[in-house]
């Protein structure tokens, strides 16, 4: 599983002209699921995301987590995070999980992240054409791959 996390002052996702979810200060999490992903990846990533200290404390140092700031989270599925660009100029998405595998993992990820956060997590709609709007704060953007834990 791969995530691209962006610290935001606000973010939203629009589907067919309607805002599906919107958040204030917090994290926008783009989630890419691959064929080999499992519940262990979900657990590890949710813990990492919730505890990631990327918000400023009173001294201006990135020392606070999304929990500490009572921030919100918006999770968007994005299979293109699994792109391989090793050959040629057209990315390959062979590692991206098919919907029958990815959707249950996506839903479990959102549920566990919501429980860990202590509040509902905003979402897009898996497989939809989504328009994501965000105001990156910092900018702070972090890439995490659950297959690279060490």
Residues that are catalytic: 78-80
Residue 8: Cβ within 10 Å count: 25
Q: Would you say how long the chain is, in residues?
A: 150
Q: Which residue has the tokens 């949710």?
A: 46
Q: Torsion angle, CA of 94/95/98/104, rounded to 10 degrees?
A: -170
Asked if residues 142 and 2 have their Cβ atoms less than 8 Å apart, the reply is no
Strand partners, 2: 32, 145
């Amino acid at each position: 599983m791969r995530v691209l996390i962006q610290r935001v002052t606000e973010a939203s996702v629009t589907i067919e002209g309607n805002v599906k979810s919107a958040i204030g200060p917090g994290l926008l999490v783009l989630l890419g699921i691959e064929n080999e992903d499992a519940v262990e990846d979900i657990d590890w990533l949710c813990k990492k995301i919730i505890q990631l200290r990327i918000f400023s404390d009173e001294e201006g140092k990135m020392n606070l987590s999304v929990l500490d700031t009572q921030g919100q989270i918006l999770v968007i599925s994005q299979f293109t995070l699994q792109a391989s660009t090793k050959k040629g100029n057209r990315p390959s998405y062979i590692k991206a999980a098919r919907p029958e595998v990815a959707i249950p993992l996506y839903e479990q990820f959102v549920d566990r992240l919501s429980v860990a956060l202590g509040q509902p997590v905003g979402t897009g709609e898996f497989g939809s054409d989504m328009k994501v709007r965000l105001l990156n704060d910092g900018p702070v953007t972090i890439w995490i791959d659950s297959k690279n834990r060490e």
